[in-house]
Structure 1
Amino acid sequence: MARRKAATSTKVLNKLTLKKEKVVSDFETASKEFLRHCTIKGLSPDTVKFYDKELKGLLRAFHELEVSLDEVRTIKAEDIEKWIEYMLKDNRAISSINARMRAGRTFFNFCLKKNYVGINPFEGISQLKKRHTVGSTFTKKQLEQLLSAPDITQFVGLRDLAIMLTFAHVGLRLKELCSLKIQDVRFDGYGEVIIQQAKNRYARRIPMTKRLKTVLKAYCEERGILDTDALFVSVENAPINPRTVQERLKHHGVNSSVEKDVSVSPHAFRRTFCRLKVEAGVNLFVLQRLTGHSDLEMLQRYVQIYGKDLEQAIEKGFD
């Protein structure tokens, strides 16, 4: 191996002494570039819309707090802390503040990679501590009251029963239900529902219960062949929209009197699905596959509250 020269080469010195060029970008320009980056990256339209909404909210708040937005580089950790205090004084929910902080942190990480900022101003700022709770669920009696409410002699009633039973026996989200296509439902064998538009982007298969199979089959026969391939449709044969689903659930909640005790919503059905599965002793990893949760944190809360192991363990040791 040849001996190195006594003097360091100019090429190496240039590499060592080369400084990054300072790139200047204002908040609005950087925001637009970030949203474009999110779209190109393939994030869902809902995620891009979420970032857009939160960055516009941050922009408005910074204007009120008189934070300079001419260069994102000048935004400091103190400005972020002022923004958090601003939201707390405005009585924003902790979960909403944390969601906005996650959006802001992601945006400034993008700015860091683009060399718009020298350091992420969210560095060292933690999420706010939130009390972990599990929302209200239906009892089995309340669930039956809801499922008995629709008038199945009418198309709308049969459709509403099929919707509520799908929520109750599949445990899916509102958006997942509204995105179901007629081809996502299969009646051969046990029958199954395929969730294609899942939140975590991973499609999943849910076997049907006997009751769900019977009701969905009857609904599909009544629905007939239409121009749209949406599974659930309006009386005008158009794909049903999320707002209509929410309104119909509220309607049946009021008529069944369940709404007096529990707010009837798609997520209340989903929470009830999780609760009943936990109470029945379904394996947590199997439940995760059924519900499409990205991690086990939320499901573990159901286990901590509704798991039967506490009742089984409490008498042990006193024999």
Structure 2
Amino acid sequence: MSRRKSVSTNVLEKLVHQQEQKSKDFQKASEEFLKHCKIKGLSPDTVKFYEKELKGLFRALVELEVPLLDVRTLKLNDIENWVEYMLEMKRAVSSINSRMRAGRTFMNFCLKKSYVDQNPFDGVSQLKKRHTVGATLTKGQLEKLLNTPDITQFVGLRDLAIMLTFAHVGLRLKELCSIKVQDLSFDGKGEVIIQQAKNRYARRVPMTKRLKTVLKAYVEERGVLDNDTLFVSVENASISPRTVQERLKHYGVVSKVENDISVSPHAFRRTFCRLKVEAGVNLFVLQRLTGHSDLEMLQRYVQIYGKDLEQAIEKGFE
């Protein structure tokens, strides 16, 4: 039997169809990836992060004239050129690394879907950056801020409760704004349950005596409302993250603390970590209190603020 000289029409159509199924342009593949992230149950903030970073990556690759009609054509050399281009544009190392993480995750998705044969990001390492800890408030600055609100007024009492919660719980801005009245318990020592945590694991933080006193006074003044969000405006609406930031900035200016350090939710969180490290709190306990997903950041606080260096420096000379 002689060999056939041409592929049959049915076989050819099948091969073309299979190739079309696997071939994806960058934008369509990224849309599928974002849909996959939502179905997977990733937080809206995480989905927004991927969407923002992939859009930025796409724009930069277009500027570099990298063909993106088929993600399979994206190669290691293209990613290396992109990194070099970002550095030439004076982009922050942390920004480049964030975009690289998003791109790597996206291309791993494409790999699983057989849109690519290999991940072009696999041959590129994260850029090295300086490991620093942002500015923190001194105890004196912290007291200045806490003494500034007029607690004879609802707004002043609320703002004191907000700042004290930041200072004594060490939570993030979004976490604070999501606290419900039912997340507080004044039984015994008292505690705050943080449900909307960044790492998606709720955590419990006991109250200090001072925080318990102030929060009880605030909750009593707040009264019973249809809105169960803990911190509310004078119109009884949930307080927005933007308003919280503006109120902190206001007290920073009035107290003149803003002259030395930018007063922000994260400045309070960093201060919480520093004070706990200086007090010798176990690193794993601190991780449970703050909800850090790993110990890397907390270890930086230990390296800078830990008291072991002071205790060790005289040893051997006694």
Does the alignment reach a TM-score above 0.5?
yes
More divergent stretch after superposition (21-30 vs 133-142): 21-30
**Cα distance change, pair 118–22 in 1 and its aligned pair in 2 (3 A):** farther
Deviations 1:114-165 (A, max 9, x none): 0000110101100000000011001100000010111111111111100000
Residue 235 of structure 1, CA deviation: 1.5
Distance in 2 of aligned mates of 1:297 and 1:88: 25
Counterpart position of 1:202: 201
Local SS of the residue matching 1:126: coil
Aligned-partner Cα distance in 1 for 2:65–2:86:
15
* Deviation at residue 248 of structure 1 after TM alignment: 0.6
Name 2:40's counterpart in structure 1: 41
Q: Secondary structure at the match of 1:159?
A: helix
Secondary structure of residue in 1 paired with 2:131: coil
Give the SS at the match of 1:123. Answer: helix
Question: Could you say which residue in structure 1 is the equivalent of 2:15?
Answer: none
Q: Are 1:211 and 2:210 matched, yes or no?
A: yes
Contact kept in structure 2, 1:27 and 1:71, CA below 8 Å: yes
Superimposed CA distance per residue, residues 248-304 of structure 1 (whole angstroms, 9 cap, x where no aligned partner): 101000111111111111011000000000111111111111011111111111111
Indicate the residue corresponding to 2:87 in structure 1. 88
Give matches, 1:1-319, under 5 Å: 23-319=22-318
Between the two proteins, the alignment pairs up a number of residues equal to 301
Give the AA of the match of 1:153.
T
Aligned to 2:5: none
Deviation at 1:90, TM superposition (A): 2.1
* Contact preservation (8 Å) 1:22, 1:115: no
How many angstroms apart in 2 are the aligned matches of 1:96 and 1:242?
23
Structure 2 segments unaligned to the other structure (5+ residues): 1-17
- Corresponding letter in the other structure for 2:249: K
Paired with 1:79 and 1:279, the residues of 2 have a C-alpha distance of 46
- TM-score, normalisation: structure 2: 0.93
Q: Secondary structure at the match of 2:120?
A: coil
Instruction: Give the letter aligned to residue 94 of structure 1.
Output: V
Q: CA deviation at 1:89?
A: 2.1
SS at match of 2:193: strand
Change (3 A) 1:26 1:20: closer
Q: TM-score, normalised by structure 1?
A: 0.92
Q: Check the 8 A contact 1:62/1:83 in 2, yes or no.
A: yes
Paired with 1:115 and 1:22, the residues of 2 have a C-alpha distance of 9
Which amino acid in 1 is paired with 2:301?
Y
The two structures, once aligned, show a CA RMSD in angstroms of: 1.3
**Match for 1:245: what amino acid?**
V
The gaps in structure 1 that reach 5 residues or longer are 1-18
2:164 & 2:27 partners in 1: Cα distance? 46
Equivalent pair of 1:277/1:287 in contact (CA under 8 Å): yes
Give me the whole-angstrom Cα distance separating, in 2, the residues matched to 1:104 and 1:275. Answer: 34
